[in-house]
Chains A and B, each alone.
Chain A
Amino acid sequence: MGQHGRDPVGIERIDRRTFVLRMGAAGGTAMSVSGLLAACGGGGSQPARTGSPASGTAPDPPARPTGVLRAAYNQAPESLDPALGSSALNIACNVYGGLMRFDARGRLVPGLATSVTSDDEATEWVFELREGVRFHDGTELDASAVARSYEHYRGGTSQWAYLIPPKVEFDASDPGVFRIKSRVPVPDVGRNSPIIHILSPKLLAKGKDAAATQAAGTGPFKFVSFRRNSSVVLEANEDFWGEGPYLERLEWAILNEPSARVAALRAGDLDFVYKVGPEQLPPVAGDGSLTVVTDTPWTGTYLILVSDVGPLANPLVRRALAHAIDRQALIDKIALGQAEPLQSLLPAGTYGAVNPSTTYAYDPDESRRLLAEAGVQEGDLTVKLAANPALTTRDLQLSQAIAQMMSDVGIRTSSDVAELTDVVGSVFTGPHKTVPDWQGLTGDLGWLNGGPVFVQTGYLTTVSGYDPAEYQRLANAALTTPDGRARERALAEIQELVATDVPVLPLYQPKISSAMKADVYGYRNPADAWSTYFGTVYRGA
């Protein structure tokens, strides 16, 4: 990374703020900007483990893989190929693995590479590969295998192609070293590497569809079976190069319905459920046989405002809206207390996240004053809000609550449930030539690599139409400056600019909770809110 010069990346010296998360709607593959995860690993904050009689008294992991974990798989994967979308990330995280990975505290640590270095300009990256690693099918890991997977990821059908900068060259001439060379600075190559899983070249050689139904990686678990809309079964890879696995077998049951997942856990048919909704937490927390692990991932809930045309083109009006919204009430009533306040564009824990000096306290009087200053009379302004239930389950309630708060300061509002295709066709069109059907869109955004990837995807610009020259300048700096103070300053200025102009209103940073049997240990929620890693999970006595 840039600021480290030619020194090997001091993995342990880089905290998680160095790594940004994915940008994109949490809705996943269907979203054009579905982003990525912070890869396999832990969340950005210390977890809260509650409800277990064994809390704080975790036994030692078993000496060899033992026991079975039956977990719920929340989103049915159509394909096992991790390059094709987000639904297979849980599997990829446990079967494959990237050159680097994020540890339980969100720090970038060695994965299949023992180190990563770059030159000062971040134009050449060098990954020193781990020796003696073999894929599950017996193939040896070398630079050409890595290059083959990187080529696979930047292929035309890959959803994550944007993680590999365009026009970079892969150098696999030394089997033990994988190099990425570019003519322009590409400062996020190391940070993106946990998301690019390395597949067996033998598997990829079988054809472009082979990885859809089979899996062969280097991860802690080996692929056993995949039954569409039913189950995915893995077994321990006892030759795994890292810690674990401690489980002999990992069985995922594909259950799309959240209530059914919790019911199955309580019935004893499952041992683990990821992302238990706030409304389902009380019965789970009250069950003495279950444990809940809660973390705050690198995800934010936002209201994005169409800022270049229509009723919200005036910044004074957008600031008035910001003052009209009672965020604490949203946290209490919509997120049911399972969220942290969020003032900045970047959620806490992501690379470059700062608290901007410009904030908007809940102040209806100030909101009315700003509206009057903008020349808006009470009842004159109509704002239509959209909520897409495909993105977050509570999106509609959130949108309706915000509509009510806006009504309290004299803004006429309506909130609709927007179908995904409608949102894509009518909202994701900025900069806008005409006023889109909706002027506000609520939803969750997950962050892969923090500011840089967020800027790269152009999500904010596309939805809000907000794209002033100053923002473009800062965005360019954030994308091309190697890690260091200059880059962090650019990101901080972006956050301040956005806080001032309010093309997007940060609402809160939701927590995620996983529920499991009380004898399940070693689990942390993923920082990306997507990839649940079981390599270090074990069953107690």
Chain B
Amino acid sequence: MSVSSPPIGTAGHRRRGVIGRVRRTWWVRYIASRLAQGLIVILGAVTISFLLVGASGDVVEATTAPTATPQEIQQRKHELGLDRPVLERYVENVTNIAQGDFGREYRSGRPAIDLVMTALPNTVALVLAAVVFAWPIALAVAFMSVLKRGTLRDRIVRRGLIALQGIPEFWFGLILVVVFSINLQWFPSFGFNRGLWSLVLPAIALGTPLIPTLVRLIRGQLLDFMALDLATALRAKGISDRRIVVAHGLRNVLVPTISFLTMQLGLLLGGTLIVEAVFGWPGIGQLLLSSIAGRELEVVQAIVVVIACVFVALSLVADLIAFAIDPRIRRGAS
């Protein structure tokens, strides 16, 4: 039996063409929808940062000489446009940012976005290193915990993870320095001038608090999988639990883990301040700290908006990866 296509130009042909286009473009529309949502998030970040920056005190008085006359202060406000209505300044602010103009750092005269884009790669490297450090450890611990569920070793590991999650980053970072830099002298105590060697301690300090959360996530997913009929069937075929977990369970935990890690990257990008301070890492956190201290509000806003953009982008990437891996999500979306 042959299946013939509807004749060209008929209603049937047009309907199949539309459905085909719909099938081909559903993901385009989905991405467009997520991008639109992302733009709203970014606009929100711009708005909130604009309002917070405006509410954080008089930048002119904080950055002019103490002997400046009221006329000089007024002149400075005029130069910065601070004597104009808030709404007008807000519209201009949004317009400028849309064009990539975040203003200039007051003291150096450098474009704020340049400073952020110089510091961002350092923080990205640190965050990625932290994830690379945390992910395999968490995976191994979760596998062990599932395979040895209920044993003394499992209980010890789980209690240990709770303690690990409570470790303050600042304290932990300094302990790492004392042990591995001062006593053992294996790694440099700060900076990033010794290549990957410099990355080790900050990555451990940043990545260690990630491990407990990751372990819980992976362990929960694996336990769910092991309770499925599929796992029971595999066992009935004589396949060992270890093989079931490694060969079949891993695929099932990938999607939630990748989604979690991708979003965690965004959180880490904005939360490396303490680790960067302890290890003198010239990233976004340090830049934010010095910009706040120096009342460089354009830089502060640029950091906030760039972090929001990264967050939105990572969220989109997480969705796309999930689509690529999990056919159930594709079916649901289409």
Contact = CB atoms under 8 A, between A and B. Distances in A.
Interface of A: 24, 29-30, 32-34, 75-76, 78-79, 81, 84-85, 87, 156-162, 166, 208-209, 212-213, 227-231, 253-257, 259-260, 263-264, 266-269, 390, 420-421, 424-425, 456-457
B280 interface: yes
Contacts of A456: 67
Contact of A264 (B63, B106, B190, B286): B190
Given A269-B188, A424-B62, A259 B290 contact: no
Interface string B276-305: 011110110011011101111000000000
Contact of A29 (B68, B72, B279, B294): B294
Given A79-B107, A158-B65, A212-B109, A267 B57 contact: no
Contacts of A212: 107-110
B25 interface: no
B294 A87 contact: yes
Contact of A256 (B108, B118, B289): B289
Given A78-B108, A390-B293, A267 B182 contact: yes
B144 interface: no
* Most chain B C-beta atoms within 10 Å of own C-beta, residue among A212, A229, A231: A229
Given A156-B72, A267-B181, A228 B188 contact: no
Contacts of A162: 65-67
B191 A425 contact: no
Given A157-B64, A161-B68, A259-B174, A85 B294 contact: yes
A231 B63 CA distance: 24
Contact of A229 (B62, B107, B189, B286): B286
Interface SS majority for chain A: loop
Contacts of B75: 156
A213 B294 contact: no
A229 B296 CA distance: 14
Interface string B159-172: 00000000000000
Interface of B: 56-58, 61-68, 72, 75-76, 105-110, 115, 118-119, 173-174, 177-178, 181-182, 185, 188-193, 277-280, 282-283, 286-287, 289-291, 293-296
Contact of A268 (B61, B185, B277): B185
A315 to B, nearest CB: 28
Nearest to A256: B277
Contact of B65 (A30, A159, A227, A228): A159
B189 A260 contact: yes
Given A157-B63, A254-B280, A257-B277, 6 more contacts: A161-B67, A209-B109, A212-B109, A229-B282, A266-B182, A269-B188
Contacts of A256: 277, 280, 286, 289-290
A78 B72 contact: no
Q: What are the 4 closest A-B residue pairs judged by CB atoms, nearest first?
A: A209-B109, A162-B67, A421-B57, A79-B107
A255 B280 contact: yes
Given A212-B110, A229-B282, A263-B189, A78 B105 contact: yes
A378 B14 CA distance: 92
B280 A253 contact: yes
B280 A263 contact: no
* Most chain A C-beta atoms within 10 Å of own C-beta, residue among B62, B280, B291: B280
Contacts of A264: 177, 181, 189-190, 280
A32 B63 CA distance: 8
A30 B190 contact: no
B109 A229 contact: no
A263 B63 CA distance: 33
* Most chain B C-beta atoms within 10 Å of own C-beta, residue among A85, A264, A266: A264
A260 B279 contact: yes
A263 B192 CA distance: 16
Contacts of B110: 209, 212-213
B286 A424 contact: no
A229 B67 contact: no
A78 B290 contact: yes
B278 A257 contact: yes
A171 to B, nearest CB: 23
Contacts of A158: 65
Contacts of A257: 277-278, 280
A260 B64 contact: no
A24 B66 CA distance: 10
B189 A30 contact: no
* Most chain B C-beta atoms within 10 Å of own C-beta, residue among A75, A87, A257, A390: A257
Nearest to A28: B293
A81 B178 CA distance: 36
B191 A260 contact: no
B61 A228 contact: no
B277 A85 contact: no
A288 to B, nearest CB: 14
B109 A421 contact: no
A24 B75 CA distance: 25
A213 B115 CA distance: 12
A255 B62 CA distance: 24
A37 to B, nearest CB: 15
B67 A228 contact: no
* Most chain B C-beta atoms within 10 Å of own C-beta, residue among A160, A421, A456: A421
Nearest to A24: B66
26 contacts: A29-B293, A30-B295, A33-B66, A34-B66, A76-B286, A76-B290, A78-B291, A79-B107, A158-B65, A159-B64, A159-B65, A166-B67, A213-B108, A213-B110, A228-B118, A230-B280, A231-B193, A256-B289, A260-B174, A260-B189, A260-B279, A263-B178, A264-B177, A267-B185, A420-B57, A457-B66
Given A78-B296, A160-B65, A260 B190 contact: yes
B64 A156 contact: yes
Contacts of A255: 190, 280
Nearest to A255: B280
A228 B282 contact: yes
Contacts of B106: 157
A377 to B, nearest CB: 39
Contacts of A260: 173-174, 177, 189-190, 277-280
Contacts of A263: 174, 177-178, 181-182, 189
A32 B66 contact: yes
B289 A79 contact: no
B292 to A, nearest CB: 9
Nearest to B188: A269
Contacts of A420: 57
A208 B190 CA distance: 33
Nearest to B56: A421
B277 A30 contact: no
A421 B53 CA distance: 12
